[in-house]
Amino acid sequence: MSYVERVMSDLETRYAYQPVFLQAVKEVLNSIQPALDKKKDYEKYKILERITEPERIICFRVDWVDDKGEVQTNRAYRVQYNSAIGPYKGGLRLHPSVNLGILKFLGFEQIFKNSLSGLPIGGGKGGSDFDPKGKSDMEIMRFCQAFMNELFRHIGATIDVPAGDIGVGGREIGYLYGQYKKLTRSYEGVLTGKNLLFGGSLARTEATGYGVVYFTQSMLAERGESLEGKECAVSGAGNVATYCCEKLLQNGAKPVTVSDSRGMIYDASGIKVDVLKQVKEVERASLSRYAELVSSAKYTPVADYPKGRNAVWDVPCYAAFPCATQNELNEADAQALLKNGCKCVAEGANMPSTLEATHAFLKAGIAYGPAKAANAGGVSTSQLEMEQNAGMQSWTFEEVDSKLKTIMQNIYRSAAETAEDMGVKGNLVVGANIAGFRKVADAMLAQGVC
């Protein structure tokens, strides 16, 4: 058995009940063999055994009181995965599906993504199985305060800096920040994605979605192609999807779909981002509302999707942008995209494609931007927010946006050059994983066994 096989087999025995975590690890370990061959110290000092195990996991109970006066209990976690190259950094997810396995997958991905960004940030992730849907503002506030009543002990501007993720946007970050400040009496950049009134950064809201498009532009430029005039399929209707659509439109492309957990919109005339924001950010409604407001839009509920499939990927497009959640694009979806002539896939969500779908894209040789590289704009701009907080400065939108663009171009170059060095030109999965892995692994070696 090879080193990778031994480590993988041990993890499969130990964590059989965490399938998405195992999937994320498998994707990385299966692609870094060339790096392991070049440096035997990784095996000698058990880097794979150590890097796959979080440095610390904090599990806690969150008790809060709903609007009816009833006591509610949720389970919450912070996975402090790896701090070899900087303080733990990664979002908080509030969704009923959250469990430790999901947060370990997200935290593990975050280590390599943060490393690849070229910025000094470690990897972490957290969240709770609290469901924000249908909750009043006051309920959201009471939950966030109760969540922070425990989390505050474990985070800090140079220790661990959480941000948003599914179910956590500006409103939630505001409540979390207020409670942190109250408990610690410290006004510090302990969370990112904050409101501009108290230390937020311009362009942080837009960063992940915009960054995906900047990354795609670099990827396509190398192939002598561009997004201009092209139809695009986007999934999701939250932060990442919305700003991905906005940037596509600004670049002359036409996003024709968006989706949420209940259904999808196909709008042949192009997604109207102002209507999307009104429906999802202001009204917090289902996408069926979009179809009420836009006559050219067709709404399909999830119940009408083909069995075992995501109907978004049946829409013919030049480029696909999965921006909702993990494993939302399977092998059959990938084959449907390829059959319809899709030439480019860039992942806004974390691990949206199954391993089989990823293989199908790589085999077809289309431009494929894996999440770790393509969606790193969010965390990178979070780091820019930390930089502004530390220097007590605020930069203009243009300044932050231009730094974001440069970071995404550098991430593309780093992944593409590493792939070429490893003899697999164009394979950005190998390129991103190895470029991200080497920096963290070398830092761990240099810091000794600790």
The residues that are catalytic are 125
- Number of alpha helices (DSSP H) and beta strands (DSSP E) in the chain: 18, 13
Angle at 438 between CA 112 and CA 351, to 5 degrees: 25
Say whether residue 319 binds ligand NDP (CB under 6 A). Answer: no
- Rounded Cα distance between 121 and 128, Å, is 23
The correct pick among 378, 401, 408, 441 for binding ligand NDP (CB under 6 A) is 378
Work out whether strand 254-255 and strand 257-259 pair parallel, antiparallel, or are unpaired: unpaired
CA 16 to chain centre: 24
The residue among 48 and 334 lying less far from ligand NDP, judged by its C-beta, is: 334
Q: Which range of residues in 7-15, 214-222, 320-328, 408-416 is near ligand NDP by CB under 6 A?
A: 320-328
Q: Report which DSSP code applies to 310.
A: -
The residue among 324 and 360 lying less far from ligand NDP, judged by its C-beta, is: 324
Say whether residue 119 binds ligand NDP (CB under 6 A). Answer: no
| Residue 139: both structure tokens together | 């309920």
Q: Which range of residues in 7-15, 43-51, 149-157, 322-330 is near ligand NDP by CB under 6 A?
A: 322-330
- Rounded Cα distance between 228 and 319, Å, is 11
The residue among 188 and 281 lying less far from ligand NDP, judged by its C-beta, is: 281
Say whether residue 237 binds ligand NDP (CB under 6 A). Answer: yes
- Rounded Cα distance between 391 and 409, Å, is 25
CA 403 to chain centre: 19
The residue among 140 and 324 lying less far from ligand NDP, judged by its C-beta, is: 324
> Between helices 204-222 and 377-390, what is the axis angle to 10°?
130
- Compute how many other C-beta atoms are within 10 angstroms of the C-beta atom of residue 439: 19
Site for ligand NDP in 346-365 (CB under 6 A): 348-350
The residue among 54 and 167 lying less far from ligand NDP, judged by its C-beta, is: 167
Amino acid at the residue 443: A
Output 394-399 pairs: Cβ under 8 A, ≥24 positions apart. Answer: 394/196, 394/201, 394/202, 395/201, 395/202, 396/202, 397/202, 397/203
Residue nearest to ligand NDP (CB): 238
The correct pick among 358, 375, 380, 433 for binding ligand NDP (CB under 6 A) is 375
* Residue 255 near residue 234 (C-beta atoms within 8 A): yes
The correct pick among 218, 239, 353, 354 for binding ligand NDP (CB under 6 A) is 239
Query: Closest approach of Cβ 381 to ligand NDP, in Å?
Result: 8
SS3 of 286-332: the string is CCHHHHHHCCCEEEEEHHHCCCCCCHHHHCCCCEEEECCCCCCECHH
The correct pick among 84, 146, 324, 419 for binding ligand NDP (CB under 6 A) is 324
The residue among 87 and 167 lying less far from ligand NDP, judged by its C-beta, is: 167
* Residue 404 near residue 381 (C-beta atoms within 8 A): yes
The residue among 259 and 427 lying less far from ligand NDP, judged by its C-beta, is: 259
Query: Closest approach of Cβ 375 to ligand NDP, in Å?
Result: 4
Query: Closest approach of Cβ 378 to ligand NDP, in Å?
Result: 3
Judged by CB under 6 A, the number of residues near ligand NDP is 22
The residue among 238 and 431 lying less far from ligand NDP, judged by its C-beta, is: 238
Query: Closest approach of Cβ 172 to ligand NDP, in Å?
Result: 10
| Residue 384: both structure tokens together | 């820019």
The correct pick among 238, 255, 431, 436 for binding ligand NDP (CB under 6 A) is 238
Query: Closest approach of Cβ 310 to ligand NDP, in Å?
Result: 8
| Residue 87: both structure tokens together | 């303080």
| Residue 200: both structure tokens together | 């937020």
Helix (H, G, I), strand (E, B) or coil at 78: strand
Say whether residue 432 binds ligand NDP (CB under 6 A). Answer: no
Say whether residue 322 binds ligand NDP (CB under 6 A). Answer: no
- Taking residues 242 to 281 in sequence order and writing x for each that binds ligand NDP by CB under 6 A, - otherwise, the string is ------------------xxx-------------------
Site for ligand NDP in 154-173 (CB under 6 A): 164-167
Give the number of residues written for the chain.
450
- Rounded Cα distance between 113 and 18, Å, is 21
Chain positions contacting ligand NDP, by CB under 6 A? 164-167, 208, 236-241, 260-262, 323-325, 348-350, 375, 378
